[in-house]
Amino acid sequence: MANHNAEHWYPTAAYLYVLHLDDLALAWEYLRRNPEYRLDWHNRQRWPEAAQRWGLRLLEDPGLDARDAHPAWFPDHPQLIQLYPDADPMPDATAFDVWRIPGNKCLVHDGRRLLLTARWPGCCLRLAVAPGLEEGMAYVHAVHACARPCARYCALAAELGKLAVATDSAPCAAARCRPSPAVLLELHTLQALDATLAGASLREVAAGLFGAAMVSGGWHADGGLRSKVRRLVRRGRTLMLDGYRHLAQLDGRGEGRSTQPVKRP
């Protein structure tokens, strides 16, 4: 067995940030590992239109993980808060002030409008700012019309609730419960995917994820550990190749959004 202690995938601590990612951030984590996507990024000067093939408005650097990357998905996610100038503002209308939005902020122009991402402990908020909206103007929140407007509105209200709670005093830290099995599954899947992309065997993947002691005592042809690692590797490849679209709520062509939520692989 090769010594993989120096490999980037071996230390589980390097993946702990995955425990705090939402579905959109996880979708990016899987997409950025796709070798074909990385090739398109390398050739982005020759093929700038390749972004829509992946469900993006613009190609994003695959070298950036979800903490630093700001992928602009196409079409917009239902929870993206859209801001437009208010054509008929109320007397007590709130003025747009980007600096009152809490957290660390990043602005990206996707070719049509500004996308603003704000992150603070326990929350990530994404907003789209219409071209006509300027600092100090009254504004409105917009949501796409759809067959299930109540569900869409509830999603928007939940995001606005996060913003309202943190506007006056964004928390410096957030207490979290023990990670759920679903969250741990994403961590293990990404770690197993990186290991196999680096050429590690299933046994080496198991040792990196669960420890050499567990592997030496439970690695059998029909054993549960071996089956578990095989499922993790298969799941990671599925999400990397096309399954990330379900997390980002894109359809199979990157040209529309699924009308019904799709279960993760």
**193-235 residue pLDDT tens:** 999 999 999 999 999 999 999 998 888 877 789 999 999 999 9
Residue 116 scores a pLDDT above 80: yes
Query: What pLDDT is attached to residue 120?
Result: 83
For 67, 77, 79, 84, 157, the CA distances from 152, given in Å and listed in that order, are: 26, 11, 8, 18, 9
List the single range of 79-88, 107-116, 155-164, 244-253 with lowest mean pLDDT: 155-164
For 140, 144, 157, 159, 246, the CA distances from 150, given in Å and listed in that order, are: 18, 11, 10, 14, 21
When pLDDT is cut at 50, 70 and 90, the band that residue 123 belongs to is confident
Q: What CA–CA distance (Å, rounded) separates 55 from 59? A: 10
List the single range of 13-22, 62-71, 73-82 with lowest mean pLDDT: 73-82
CA 210 and chain centroid, separation:
25
Query: What pLDDT is attached to residue 265?
Result: 56
Residue 62 scores a pLDDT above 50: yes
Residue 2 scores a pLDDT above 90: no
Query: What pLDDT is attached to residue 7?
Result: 75
Q: Is 111 exposed, middle or buried (0-12, 13-18, 19+ CB in 10 A)?
A: exposed
Return the structure tokens found at 118. 């704000």
Query: What pLDDT is attached to residue 34?
Result: 98
- Phi–psi pair at 150, nearest 5 degrees: -65, -45
The model's pTM is 0.82
When pLDDT is cut at 50, 70 and 90, the band that residue 39 belongs to is very high
Mean pLDDT to the nearest integer, 51-55: 94
Strand order in the sheet with 81-85: 104-109, 114-120, 123-129, 81-85, 139-142
Best-predicted range by mean pLDDT among 10-14, 93-97, 207-211, 235-239? Answer: 235-239
Q: Are 99 and 118 in contact (CB under 8 A)?
A: no
Return the structure tokens found at 227. 């089956």
Residue 88 scores a pLDDT above 60: yes
Q: Which residue has the higher pLDDT, 203 or 111?
A: 203
Q: Are 236 and 190 in contact (CB under 8 A)?
A: yes
Query: What pLDDT is attached to residue 205?
Result: 95
List the single range of 29-43, 132-146, 161-175, 248-262 with lowest mean pLDDT: 248-262
- Phi–psi pair at 118, nearest 5 degrees: -120, 130
Query: What pLDDT is attached to residue 102?
Result: 86
